[in-house]
Structure 1
């Protein structure tokens, strides 16, 4: 007993007396921290400092405040935004023909360009004082998503000016003269913008761009002025072939010190008219059959005035910071909108096709193999839409959460890829034959575009999500890094000492709480609601504790090496991401009024996310460099083993049945999908057949039953079958008429397109249904 008392006194002195604590604990820890601190370049620092921390910080804390999350109001549209959605947006959607755009025109038709310019679709993020629409992130996301369900090429064309590019950069950083010069024209569509960042030697590693600008004296408008001599070679630049104004990122140098004492200023952004002398708009790319304008641009010894730098001279060298700050918001809208369109379309039309298409006398959606794929489509689409809403909520609240938007971009595009693959599997031949009747092929071909741009997904997962999140979202690490970097070592030590005590308490709390939750199955964890979803809040809180513990130990034991252990950090990033996605699912379920019809989707989605968390943790423990530490961590987080299972078959079956029923629930889950009430339309031909066949289920069952009994031949189709059923008094006159009309719709719905051989040789695709 006396020994324990002595130990407690020693601990109290060590930690309670500041001078002793600093000398014995904090100073050695401070030196160790400085030694293992990962080196950080200027571009990494700027990326780290860009944006805000929101719900990701709560998840990283080990104690997410669920009550606070659920109190956050879901975004709504203003009356102006709703009027635009009901009017100009519908006008544009009705004018779009994706097959014609991608195959025949290989560009947007003039009539479509005219609608876009007339209604200022390029001006959603431009302020009203410059003629813009000044829409919220929620409206921006909704509009781009809905357009993408109709035409990916059109959606990309519209999303680029409303994302990272001249309009956004000018809005945030432009001088008054630059705003007045460019924003009104950009709002009207008289000016078409593009932004040139990537090139042959710089893709996702945009910080390595070789394009240069050298400050020097040159002639402009007949006078000698201080300006920049530029050399660049860029590719993959959306809208470049039709752009009138070029946003350009380059590395700026001042060898003669004409504007300051530094020779290497860093990445800088400038705005250049494409008709300026020396600017070359090169060849056009053709990205996976998508007809949006994308191409190259070059310039050799192009001289521009210094005041063409976006924001003026004071923003020379600050381009990377500008890009990161804008990207942290835009990345959460544009590409996720395309993924959302993929999810909505896949669920809506796969459900319809699975009911219309029949084999062995049954809709193919009744077969369990198909139901497995349909369950994934519906479950993942629920997560996709939930994630879109929660991220847009953060943006509408005024946050710019860089880690969340990175997670959103990566996981939504990856889930979009999965649902599109499953949709193609279910549709089989219907999905692979190109033509005006194929509503999946364009989205399927376009999916890799979302995967690769604004940071390739491999880089985003392995370097950005946890690489930024571990520092940005942790309550103490970033402040500790700043203390360690303080040139005044004593001041840095004092700040570090204060933080260290809090960090030790934080780590100890997470360690014992993780073990307690593991031993009790998190049954005593707080939850903001009761009912079927209570257990999910508890399990997510438990995994939040586990993440906080494992992240701390990883940073402590690996230090700077953690940045190079990409697979380890990626797995911790997966845990954080799936915690966020599961949070989004629960938030949506509450925001939608806890709809009972949504429970199979919620159960499937949360089970899927928890299983993914378990898989990520299993890989983390298995591959942790120090195996002994890895085993100890696994015991604390999962003392009885990892028991998160994949979604049960019953959930997949319930989802597949829901996907094959028209009604309110289906509309809520696929409300962004556009369809035209026209049997010849690419969407309408399937939708109308599905709804009509569902209404005539009893008629089809009676006919099948009569065929099995031998009362009607099984070899009859269409009008002959209707006549035979009428004659055998299986159907009434009205029912036979309705059956004939439905069969016409059904046959068109299962039809695919074919083309005359001679036309195809000539590059002409005049389709006919087969």
Structure 2
């Protein structure tokens, strides 16, 4: 029976798979093999095991980590004057640089035995998040050495000699690292890299030494202008066959001191008016001994895999931390400003259009913070979820863009006049920088998230691809024959589950125990996990390698996977927090928005599917009733908006980690006006009932004369009026003439 199946079913199928398989380059293969699958695989299984996620527990800090955040991080934030850094000096002051080095901010992830802090990914993320609410430039300066850079690569791949020499020097700031990957010819497409090295012998320190003669041009290198050690990626060649028969040895990564002869450090770039150091560098016939390769000579050609492995973790921490901090800052300040700023005699936060934007800001902050915590919790446990990290980078930075745009709209003129009182302008300008780096979001969304996720997370597809490409045809046939029955059963279960839940609207889907009223959301999550899994199966079978070139189809399916991850994390966070009733409006708004986005993406896939009748079939099977879940109602939006316009545990919980400024800072002024306004709310209500607008001196005098308020209340309301007036002010200047003119 087995032989007959192999002859009449498996062999023809193997030939078909070989024809339709998308071509996969070496760099793509290494990117797919880097990191690991995690909850993303559960979401693409059609039936997620929620206990796997919920039983992880919330992220936790050690006493030392919390003490560092309460101590040096808080002190750093008090030292920082972001206006001075960004607009006057265009640089971080020497005092701050010294503080960062002395307190080992560049050694957050370096183990204590090498002089670092040895903190967890969760601590690393919370440190960067808090600093970023004070200054993006300082946040990036701290973030880069602790994410994709020489330190992380050395810890994972370095020789003991390299670790013992460099890690202590990186931890205490004697060495400032940068990493050179991007070049003018190769950004996201690292395979196009033209930076190259040639294996050779050369005299070094008076001895004939085996090494490489390397030429390169790198740009957009953060910390490049001040770096003392450069992590360098280049393609290595051996035309003289010094090392063996192969001439092309692959992408290799080495550590190069920036004072090495032939290295040129260029003038700095100025990314979107941010003050963190960034610039180009060049190398002309630079001799690099073999022992400068990270991990030594045996790691020749393994550079791309090393980089992708590091990025699988670092991408989930760095920019998501900055984005989460920015979204929290937007929620805290915009909620306060919408309460104190009045138009037509009422707070602008009472206008329904503004309420909707406030709700969206609050929900974005809630979702990003939830996903951020869930991801770092996974990293704490030693996981390196490559697809999840890509989701976090792309959707966290896009979420920040929406939150800050909405915050700018609500603040209006307050947010577009530059000066120390403007606490949103620099965050707004940082958004395109965050979206562009570590893989531009367009390519991450179109090619990476679903492109990698569909293959890596599928229980059989990667093994089938390996069987199809096995050079031993007989062995490949046996491998595929063993997989086929399992895959067929998986497809049958997926088909039945997705069609049943699609036609019944997920009413009979399962949910984990002990989640209370949130069970309805888990049922819908299971429904759309099954739908995505079935649509993925059909898309791969019908389009094969063509799916790789249908980037918009891939992007929309990636959006569904991303929404499922973000919503999973939001449900986990709500559960970790003890399912507080006060936070329920945030959960409701976020979940409805996520389901709405999923349905929009799926319907766009169906309507734009290259094989029209298959698109129609997929919709008939999985979404026969069209849109079945509406976005959040106006009532839910009002409830969500009120949470950030009212003092309380929910507002504090949502915006925990935001630095609220030194006395007299723009954030502090708005926060104090917000507190004062709420403390005098009953007084203002008395005045309004008497037909008076509360916050002007004439009205207060009239209210006092009419005995609507007491003298003590009049004094309180005058202080509130003064605080609000100060909070709505913007900076102004005598002249725009250049200094010295």
| TM-score, scaled relative to structure 1 | 0.94
Please identify, of 332-341 and 74-83, the stretch whose mean Cα deviation from structure 2 is larger. Answer: 74-83
Matched, 1:515 2:499: yes
Show the counterpart of 2:525.
Answer: 540
Show the counterpart of 2:706.
Answer: 728
Distance in structure 2 (CA, Å) of the matches to 1:689 and 1:225: 68
1:192 to 176, 179, 199: 176
Please identify, of 68-77 and 584-593, the stretch whose mean Cα deviation from structure 2 is larger. Answer: 68-77
Show the counterpart of 1:573.
Answer: 558
Displacement of 1:560: 1.0
Show the counterpart of 2:614.
Answer: 629
Distance in structure 1 (CA, Å) of the matches to 2:264 and 2:688: 66
Displacement of 1:221: 1.2
Show the counterpart of 1:3.
Answer: none
Q: Is the 8 A contact 1:677 1:688 kept in 2?
A: no
Partner of 1:217: helix, strand, or coil?
strand
2:453 to 469, 480, 485: 469
Partner of 2:287: helix, strand, or coil?
strand
Q: Deviations over 1:68-90 (max 9, x none)?
A: 22111222011111111111111
Q: Is the 8 A contact 2:328 2:365 kept in 1?
A: yes
Show the counterpart of 2:321.
Answer: 337
Displacement of 1:720: 4.9
Alignment of 1:267-282 (within 5 A): 267-282=251-266
Q: Is the 8 A contact 1:207 1:320 kept in 2?
A: no
Q: Deviations over 1:206-253 (max 9, x none)?
A: 232111111112221122212111111111000011111111111111
Aligned length: 740
Show the counterpart of 1:12.
Answer: none
Partner of 2:489: helix, strand, or coil?
helix
Partner of 2:732: helix, strand, or coil?
strand
2:654 to 658, 669, 676: 669
Displacement of 1:421: 0.4
Show the counterpart of 1:406.
Answer: 390
Distance in structure 2 (CA, Å) of the matches to 1:223 and 1:652: 73
Alignment of 1:411-422 (within 5 A): 411-422=395-406
Partner of 1:594: helix, strand, or coil?
coil
Distance in structure 2 (CA, Å) of the matches to 1:206 and 1:522: 43
Show the counterpart of 2:197.
Answer: 213
Supply the RMSD in Å over aligned alpha carbons: 1.4
Q: Is the 8 A contact 1:212 1:252 kept in 2?
A: yes
Distance in structure 1 (CA, Å) of the matches to 2:714 and 2:94: 45
Partner of 2:666: helix, strand, or coil?
coil
Show the counterpart of 1:73.
Answer: 57
1:356 to 327, 337, 340: 340
Q: Is the 8 A contact 1:329 1:400 kept in 2?
A: yes
Alignment of 1:450-599 (within 5 A): 450-528=434-512, 529-599=514-584
Displacement of 1:371: 0.6
1:641 to 600, 622, 626: 626
Please identify, of 526-535 and 376-385, the stretch whose mean Cα deviation from structure 2 is larger. Answer: 526-535
Partner of 1:434: helix, strand, or coil?
coil
Please identify, of 30-39 and 466-475, the stretch whose mean Cα deviation from structure 2 is larger. Answer: 30-39
Unaligned runs of 5+ residues in structure 2 are none
Distance in structure 2 (CA, Å) of the matches to 1:451 and 1:751: 31
Displacement of 1:479: 0.8
Q: Deviations over 1:598-632 (max 9, x none)?
A: 11111111111111110111111011111111111
| TM-score, scaled relative to structure 2 | 0.98
Partner of 2:690: helix, strand, or coil?
helix
Q: Deviations over 1:128-168 (max 9, x none)?
A: 11101111000000000010001000000000000001101
2:723 to 710, 722, 745: 745
Q: Is the 8 A contact 2:83 2:420 kept in 1?
A: yes
Partner of 1:169: helix, strand, or coil?
helix
Show the counterpart of 2:215.
Answer: 231
Distance in structure 2 (CA, Å) of the matches to 1:72 and 1:594: 16
Please identify, of 360-369 and 720-729, the stretch whose mean Cα deviation from structure 2 is larger. Answer: 720-729
1:50 to 22, 31, 34: 34
Alignment of 1:226-305 (within 5 A): 226-305=210-289
Show the counterpart of 1:755.
Answer: 733
Displacement of 1:499: 0.8
Please identify, of 460-469 and 536-545, the stretch whose mean Cα deviation from structure 2 is larger. Answer: 536-545
1:601 to 579, 586, 593: 586
Distance in structure 1 (CA, Å) of the matches to 2:33 and 2:659: 39
Distance in structure 2 (CA, Å) of the matches to 1:509 and 1:373: 42
Q: Is the 8 A contact 2:335 2:641 kept in 1?
A: yes
Unaligned runs of 5+ residues in structure 1 are 1-16, 709-713, 766-770
Partner of 1:544: helix, strand, or coil?
helix
Q: Is the 8 A contact 2:609 2:615 kept in 1?
A: yes
Partner of 1:149: helix, strand, or coil?
helix
Displacement of 1:370: 0.5
Q: Deviations over 1:302-336 (max 9, x none)?
A: 11211111111011111000000000000000000
Displacement of 1:707: 4.0
Distance in structure 1 (CA, Å) of the matches to 2:524 and 2:648: 33
1:84 to 58, 68, 85: 68
Show the counterpart of 2:604.
Answer: 619
Q: Is the 8 A contact 1:267 1:317 kept in 2?
A: yes
Displacement of 1:441: 0.4
Distance in structure 1 (CA, Å) of the matches to 2:244 and 2:105: 41
Moved over 4 A (4+): 716-721
Q: Is the 8 A contact 2:502 2:531 kept in 1?
A: no
Aligned in 2, Cα 1:763/1:463: closer, same or farther, shift over 3 Å?
farther
